[in-house]
Amino acid sequence: MTVPAGVDTDRKGVSAIWNDPQTRGIIYQALALILVVLVGWFLFSNTLQNLEERNISTGFGFLDRSAGFSISESLVDYEASDTYGRAFLVGLLNTFQVALLGIFLATILGTIVGILRLSTNWLVAKLASVYVEVLRNIPVLLQLFVWYGVITVSLPSPRQAFEPMPGVFLSNRGFMIPAPVEDPAYSYMGIAFAVAILLSITLRIWARRRQYLTGAQFPVFPCSVGMLIGLPILGWLIGGAPVVFELPVLQGFNFQGGITLSPEFAALLLGLTTYTSAFIAEIVRGGILGVDYGQTEAAASLGLRRVRILRFIILPQALRLIVPPTTSQYLNLTKNSSLAVAIGYPDLVSVGNTTLNQTGQAIEAVTIFMAVYLSFSLSISVFMNWYNSRIALVER
Task: Give the integer Cα–Cα distance in Å for 184 and 10.
Answer: 87
**Options 201, 362, 374, 378; binder of another protein; rule CB under 8 A:** 362
Task: Give the integer Cα–Cα distance in Å for 275 and 360.
Answer: 34
Which segment (7-15, 93-101, 177-185, 363-371) binds another protein by CB under 8 A? 363-371
**What count of other Cβ atoms lies within 10 Å of the Cβ of residue 377?**
17
87 is an interface residue for another protein by CB under 8 A? no
357 is an interface residue for another protein by CB under 8 A? yes
202 is an interface residue for another protein by CB under 8 A? no
**Options 19, 23, 29, 70; binder of another protein; rule CB under 8 A:** 70
**Options 185, 272, 343, 368; binder of another protein; rule CB under 8 A:** 343
**What count of other Cβ atoms lies within 10 Å of the Cβ of residue 14?**
10
Contact string 248-267 vs another protein (x = CB under 8 A): ---xxxx-x------xx---
**Options 8, 10, 53, 395; binder of another protein; rule CB under 8 A:** 53
Per DSSP, the three-state class of 124 is helix
- Give the nearest distance from C-beta 33 to another protein in angstroms: 20
- Give the nearest distance from C-beta 386 to another protein in angstroms: 31
**Options 19, 23, 29, 57; binder of another protein; rule CB under 8 A:** 57
Q: How wide is the angle at C-alpha 305 spanned by C-alphas 299 and 310, nearest 5°?
A: 70
Contact 247, 258 (CB under 8 A): yes
152 is an interface residue for another protein by CB under 8 A? yes
**Secondary structure E strands in 178-326:** 179-180, 245-246, 249-251, 254-256, 259-261
For residue 79, with 0-12 CB atoms within 10 Å meaning exposed, 13-18 middle and 19 or more buried, which class applies?
exposed
Task: Give the integer Cα–Cα distance in Å for 57 and 359.
Answer: 9
Indicate the residue among 134 and 362 with the shorter CB distance to another protein: 362
Total of residues contacting another protein (CB under 8 A): 52
Indicate the residue among 153 and 165 with the shorter CB distance to another protein: 153
Parallel/antiparallel/unpaired status of strands 245-246 and 168-171: unpaired
User: Which residues neighbour 182 within 8 Å (Cβ) at sequence distance 6 or greater?
Assistant: none
Contacts with another protein by CB under 8 A lie at 42-43, 46-47, 50-51, 53-57, 68-72, 80-81, 145, 149, 152-153, 157, 172-173, 251-254, 256, 263-264, 338-339, 341-344, 346, 349-350, 353-354, 356-360, 362-363, 365-366
